[in-house]
């Protein structure tokens, strides 16, 4: 395990991941909230979800939207600022059209940014593998890339939380790591 200060919060949709991630940083003086999903959408349900998240966050937290430049933002953030990234799926989606080689470079770059930053990072990760198996190539690529990158990052995390039905379980304490 690396010496980075990364916490992963994972679980199914609407399980409470974002709320738990926010609670993990409730005592931080300065937080940069990085939303990887765009607020520019015609989907009213998506807009409502974003508004719920915005209303819940402390007003002194800074928020930016980015998925493509996530590595740069992490590397340029002051060490005294904690980072909440919501979520890894937005990053994967932003890079979905890339070739496998380009994706591996992007994933490696993100992993290095997260491992080498000195600041505390809480990363929200969707567990899409628990749902319906996608019937499209893109859906399967998304699911596989998200799952693989999530597992790689978990090896470096100081804590990994599973949030299901509004309950947070510390997998770092009770889980047994499976190695090849």
- Please indicate, yes or no, if residue 138 is contained in any of the structural domains: yes
Q: 179: pLDDT confidence band, cut at 50, 70 and 90? A: confident
Q: 133: pLDDT confidence band, cut at 50, 70 and 90? A: confident
Q: Which structural domain, as residue segments, surrounds residue 89?
A: 6-11+15-170
- Please indicate, yes or no, if residue 177 is contained in any of the structural domains: no
Reported pTM: 0.91
pLDDT(180) > 70: no
Task: Select which of 53, 60, 95, 155 is catalytic.
Answer: 53
pLDDT tens readout for residues 2-11: 467 999 999 9
- Please indicate, yes or no, if residue 178 is contained in any of the structural domains: no
Question: Hey, is 105 helix, strand or coil?
Answer: helix
CATH number of the domain within which 23 lies: 3.40.50.300
pLDDT(57) > 80: yes
- Please indicate, yes or no, if residue 64 is contained in any of the structural domains: yes
**C-alpha torsion angle, residues 118, 66, 167, 180 (rounded to 10):** -70
Instruction: State how far the Cα of 149 lies from the Cα of 101, in Å rounded to an integer.
Output: 14
**C-alpha torsion angle, residues 103, 107, 108, 111 (rounded to 10):** 180
- Whether 95 is catalytic: no
Q: What is the DSSP string of 40-60?
A: --S-HHHHHHHHHHHHHS-TT
C-alpha 52 chain-centroid distance:
18
- Please indicate, yes or no, if residue 108 is contained in any of the structural domains: yes
> How many separate domains does the chain show?
1
């Amino acid at each position: 395990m690396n010496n980075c200060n990364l916490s992963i919060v994972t679980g199914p949709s609407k399980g409470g991941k974002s709320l738990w991630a926010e609670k993990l940083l409730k005592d931080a003086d300065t937080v940069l909230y990085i939303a990887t999903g765009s607020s520019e959408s015609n989907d009213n349900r998506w807009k409502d979800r974003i508004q719920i998240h915005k209303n819940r966050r402390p007003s002194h937290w800074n928020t930016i939207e980015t998925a493509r430049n996530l590595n740069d933002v992490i590397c340029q953030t002051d060490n005294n600022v904690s980072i909440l990234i919501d979520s890894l799926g937005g990053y994967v989606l932003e890079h979905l059209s890339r070739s496998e080689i380009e994706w591996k470079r992007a994933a490696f770059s993100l992993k290095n940014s997260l491992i080498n930053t000195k600041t505390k990072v809480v990363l929200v990760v969707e567990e899409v593998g628990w749902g319906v198996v996608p019937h499209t190539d893109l859906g399967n690529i998304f699911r596989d890339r998200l799952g693989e990158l999530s597992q790689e990052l978990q090896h470096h995390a100081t804590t990994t939380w599973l949030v299901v039905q509004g309950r947070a379980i510390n997998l770092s304490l009770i889980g047994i790591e499976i190695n090849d």
